[in-house]
């Protein structure tokens, strides 16, 4: 966690004070949507050399993380003061699933997502050969195989926000 008077990185976001008790945030990495038990909403069905995978992502952290951040920012000794949190993201222009073994990038799927916070995207992938093996490897925890990458606009600047699929499987959205 990084804490400064007008900037904090905690609970999966970087937040900056706008004025007073008003803060703007952006996720440090996309998050998996989760099942009721908290597991990433990801499935893979294999049929020989062919596999179907489905995964759901969101840019903003779960509400519980934002509420924990709000409480941390509003803590003043023993008192809690109200804090307003606003997304710093004005638009998500692209969401991609990238295969990146050996540093070579290949797009497996794209989406424009929901268009509004928490900027969700659902992907269905038909996988064969090396792509199937890369996804399976990432789901087993091998890093730098599959990346979920959001392209976002923050104050007129294009920014990439990404996560390693293996990190999601370990329960840490940001690698």
User: What is d(CA 167, CA 144) in angstroms, rounded to the nearest whole number?
Assistant: 10
Q: Among 100, 93, 103, 27, which residue's Cα sits nearest to residue 58?
A: 27
- Coil/strand/helix, residue 111: strand
Could you read off the pLDDT of 150-164 as tens digits, one per residue? 999 999 999 999 999
Q: Establish how many alpha carbons lie within 13 A of residue 109's alpha carbon, considering only the half-sphere containing its beta carbon.
A: 21
What's the pLDDT score for residue 1? 54
pLDDT, tens digit, 9 for 90 and up, residues 33-53: 999 988 899 999 999 889 999
């Amino acid at each position: 966690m990084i804490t400064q008077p007008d900037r904090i990185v905690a609970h999966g976001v970087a937040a900056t004070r706008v004025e007073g008790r008003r803060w703007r945030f952006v996720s440090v990495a996309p998050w998996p949507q989760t099942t009721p038990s908290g597991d990433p909403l990801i499935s893979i069905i294999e049929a020989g050399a062919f596999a179907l995978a489905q995964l759901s992502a969101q840019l903003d952290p779960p509400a519980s993380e934002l509420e924990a951040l709000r409480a941390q920012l509003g803590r003043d000794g023993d008192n809690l003061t109200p804090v307003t949190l606003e997304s710093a993201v004005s638009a998500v222009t692209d969401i991609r699933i990238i295969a990146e073994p050996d540093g070579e990038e290949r797009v497996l799927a794209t989406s424009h997502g929901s268009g509004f916070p928490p900027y969700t995207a659902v992907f269905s992938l038909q996988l064969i050969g090396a792509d199937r093996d890369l996804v399976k490897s990432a789901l087993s925890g091998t890093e730098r195989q599959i990346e979920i990458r959001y392209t976002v606009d923050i104050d007129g600047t294009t920014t990439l926000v990404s996560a390693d699929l293996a990190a999601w499987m370990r329960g840490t959205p940001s690698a």
